[in-house]
Amino acid sequence: MGNVDTRHEQRDSLFLLADLRVAGEVATHRVKVRNLSTGGMMAEVDGLAVERGTRLAVDLRNVGLVEGSVAWVQGNRFGIAFDHEIDPVAPRRQSTPAQSDAHAPRYVRPASILPPGAEVDPRNLRKI
């Protein structure tokens, strides 16, 4: 009976990265999100020991910071029960340049570092 799935929410299997912070700690940990639902997620990370009931917050793309607690632990994987429901499809959506953050890979950030509407004087450009 220990292997019976008692969760009632539809889960979406995926693979994305998120930043996680354990309550009371300054350091953030990069975790792999293995599945996601409106009420929780399964995370995988090496080098982080958490226990059932540990409070934490995870920063999900296009969702933001979501607080919750550890529901179960199995090796380097653990489940997080969110305090509030989220849209589990949002992290799959591609971020627009305005939503990009400093953690975004270079290929998804805007091509220019100039503010919108700024103009470049070609006389000030040089070949590199």
pLDDT in tens, 88-108: 988 888 765 555 455 666 565
**pLDDT averaged over the chain?**
82
How far apart CA 26 and CA 10 sit, in angstroms, is 33
pLDDT in tens, 69-87: 999 999 999 999 999 999 9
Specify the DSSP class assigned to residue 47. S
How far apart CA 63 and CA 38 sit, in angstroms, is 11
CA 69 and chain centroid, separation: 15
Domains and CATH numbers, the chain: 12-90 (2.40.10.220)
How far apart CA 42 and CA 27 sit, in angstroms, is 20
- The first and second tokens of residue 124, run together, are 């000030």
* pLDDT for position 108: 59
CA 89 and chain centroid, separation: 12
Confidence band (pLDDT; 50, 70, 90) for 121? confident
pLDDT in tens, 21-67: 999 999 999 999 999 999 999 999 999 999 999 999 999 999 999 99
* pLDDT for position 15: 80
- Identify which of 4-8, 41-45, 91-95, 118-122 has the greatest average pLDDT: 41-45
Using the predicted structure, report yes or no on whether residue 4 has a pLDDT greater than 50: no
What is this structure's pTM? 0.67
- The first and second tokens of residue 38, run together, are 């409106």
